[in-house]
Amino acid sequence: MRYLTAGESHGPRLTAIIEGIPAGLPLTAEDINGDLKRRQGGYGRGGRMKIESDQVFFTSGVRHGKTTGAPITMDVVNKDHQKWLDIMSAEDIEDRLKSKRKITHPRPGHADLVGGIKYRFDDLRNSLERSSARETTMRVAVGAVAKRLLAELDMEIANHVVVFGGKEIDVPEDLTVAEIKARAAQSEVSIVNQEREQEIKDYIDQIKRDGDTIGGVVETVVGGVPVGLGSYVQWDRKLDARLAQAVVSINAFKGVEFGLGFEAGYRKGSQVMDEILWSKEDGYTRRTNNLGGFEGGMTNGQPIVVRGVMKPIPTLYKPLMSVDIETHEPYKATVERSDPTALPAASVVMEAVVATVLAQEILEKFSSDNLEELKEAVAKHRDYTKNY
Ligand SMILES: Cc1cc2nc3c(=O)[nH]c(=O)nc-3n(C[C@H](O)[C@H](O)[C@H](O)COP(=O)(O)O)c2cc1C
């Protein structure tokens, strides 16, 4: 399974093409729109998200509510585009109009300046439009298709925020994936501990009043994972490494860890390794899950626990200093539009990219022209694993 996304933040529409999804997967626009709505929500979001209410429509690959095995094309219209017809026009326009929303003050922490140098632009809007996190809309759409596939294979995925702007959320122990999902869905800040909800919201309000921004740490958990996805035989086939790449590819994500993650560097081996158990009912299990479901770049059947860290949003209403690229004079950076935090939205994106990589891996390991064929292959593998 492979995919590409296309589209600009204020262009006419966003597009994704996915190839390699088996035929026969039940799929409706509603399956996707629910996640698109989640990406647009969350406490602390305003501006653009009030203008757009994203809806996907399929232009290929789905017929009568089921995938056909052909490339799936999904489009989301940018409603805001109507106000940007000249500025985002594919045809050349008068210079007078071109200068209307020209950007010459690059924002620190964004792709503006380096993109301008790399592609030799005199208007940094060319970088801004594609590097914008608006692109993550289509990654969420692709992830929703992937999640639909994983659900057919009894795999469950959930995400929640574990650190919000430096405030650690105490997570009750032994929550199931379903419980994490249900609790985070109830929360406007995507946390599982309701007692902290108001404190976090007040903090976001405070940050907004200060004209500042915050990031945090998001955790994605996946249950029902077959043993042996990924491989140790080659560096680029290690699944934890593939997931790390996907997570850090999300705008503003700066790091990733599995299970105990960086904490493992502070412990002894006896406090880190997960001892192996066996029972007739469950086959092989582990006493703990400190390694987050991975050994040797492969899934070991324990829930996958992966965390990503998001830096604070770089556009501040209290703008940072920058330099005009035409005059080289110091200037305050351009403020296009911004929020104090996008962490709850980003956690939806993280869930989507994790689901996408897992779906890709499943489709690489098991035969997959048709959904029933895939389900049979996965069930057979699960039987084999249990009786090994
Ligand atoms: C869901 C989401 C929403 C975001 N919203 C904004 C925003 O409103 N303003 C902003 O300046 N950056 C926002 N960002 C972050 C920037 O897109 C990102 O920092 C920028 O593209 C530079 O990329 P880098 O941080 O990965 O280096 C958002 C990121 C995500 C994942």
**Each residue's pLDDT tens digit, 271-296:** 999 999 999 999 999 999 999 999 99
**Rounded CA separation 293/257 (Å):** 12
Give SS3 for 231.
coil
**Rounded CA separation 35/141 (Å):** 7
Residue with tokens 């209403």: 317
**What are the tokens at 214?**
């915050």
Please, which pLDDT band fits residue 68 given cuts at 50, 70 and 90? very high
Please, which pLDDT band fits residue 50 given cuts at 50, 70 and 90? low
Helix (H) or strand (E) holding 253: strand 253-258
Closest C-alpha to 303, from 388, 145, 178: 178
Flag whether 313 is marked binding: yes
Flag whether 130 is marked binding: yes
pTM exceeds 0.85 for this model = yes
Query: Closest ligand 1 atom, CA of 252?
Result: 25
**Could you tell me the distance, in angstroms and rounded to a whole number, from the CA of residue 85 to the centre of ligand 1?**
24
Mean pLDDT for 142-169 is 98
CB 41, CB 345: distance < 8 Å: yes
**Could you tell me the distance, in angstroms and rounded to a whole number, from the CA of residue 211 to the centre of ligand 1?**
16
pLDDT digit string (tens) for 168-224?
999 998 899 999 999 999 999 999 999 999 999 999 999 999 999 999 999 999 999
**Could you tell me the distance, in angstroms and rounded to a whole number, from the CA of residue 342 to the centre of ligand 1?**
8
Closest C-alpha to 220, from 288, 305, 156: 305
Flag whether 270 is marked binding: no
**Could you tell me the distance, in angstroms and rounded to a whole number, from the CA of residue 128 to the centre of ligand 1?**
10
Query: Closest ligand 1 atom, CA of 110?
Result: 22
User: Residue 8: CB partners within 8 Å, gap ≥ 6?
Assistant: 88, 129, 130, 132, 134
Bridge-based pairing state of the strands 72-77 and 13-19: antiparallel
**Could you tell me the distance, in angstroms and rounded to a whole number, from the CA of residue 379 to the centre of ligand 1?**
40
**Could you tell me the distance, in angstroms and rounded to a whole number, from the CA of residue 111 to the centre of ligand 1?**
10
**Rounded CA separation 45/40 (Å):** 8
DSSP labels for 287-351?
A: S--TTTTEETTEE-SSPEEEEEEEPPPS--SSPPEEE-TTT--EEEPP-----S--HHHHHHHHH
Which range (194-208, 331-345, 351-365) has the least confidence?
Answer: 331-345
Is it the case that residue 48 has pLDDT exceeding 60?
Answer: no
**Rounded CA separation 11/50 (Å):** 17
**CB 128 near ligand 1, within 6 Å:** no
**What are the tokens at 4?**
């590409």
Residue nearest to atom 28 of ligand 1 (CA): 133
Residue with tokens 């990503």: 308
Query: Closest ligand 1 atom, CA of 315?
Result: 11
Is it the case that residue 45 has pLDDT exceeding 90?
Answer: no
**CB 252 near ligand 1, within 6 Å:** yes
Q: In degrees, to the nearest 5, what angle opens at C-alpha 81 toward C-alphas 79 and 47?
A: 65
**CB 315 near ligand 1, within 6 Å:** yes
Flag whether 289 is marked binding: no
Query: Closest ligand 1 atom, CA of 254?
Result: 26
Helix (H) or strand (E) holding 63: strand 62-63
Is it the case that residue 51 has pLDDT exceeding 80?
Answer: no
Per DSSP, helices labelled H in the chain are: 29-40, 47-51, 95-98, 112-119, 125-131, 136-152, 177-186, 197-209, 239-248, 343-365, 371-387
Flag whether 385 is marked binding: no
Question: What is the DSSP secondary structure assignment for residue 26, as one 8-state letter?
Answer: B
Query: Closest ligand 1 atom, CA of 48?
Result: 8
**CB 338 near ligand 1, within 6 Å:** yes
**Rounded CA separation 40/42 (Å):** 7
Residue nearest to atom 22 of ligand 1 (CA): 110
Q: What is the pLDDT of residue 174?
A: 87
Please name the fold of domain 2-387: Chorismate synthase, AroC fold (3.60.150)
Q: What is the pLDDT of residue 330?
A: 96
User: Residue 129: CB partners within 8 Å, gap ≥ 6?
Assistant: 8, 9, 10, 11, 88
Flag whether 107 is marked binding: no
Q: In degrees, to the nearest 5, what angle opens at C-alpha 317 toward C-alphas 316 and 318?
A: 85
DSSP labels for 68-106?
A: -SSPEEEEEE-GGGGGGTTTT-SS---HHHHGGG---SP
Please, which pLDDT band fits residue 99 given cuts at 50, 70 and 90? confident
Backbone angles phi, psi at 305, to 5 degrees: -125, 110
**Could you tell me the distance, in angstroms and rounded to a whole number, from the CA of residue 67 to the centre of ligand 1?**
32
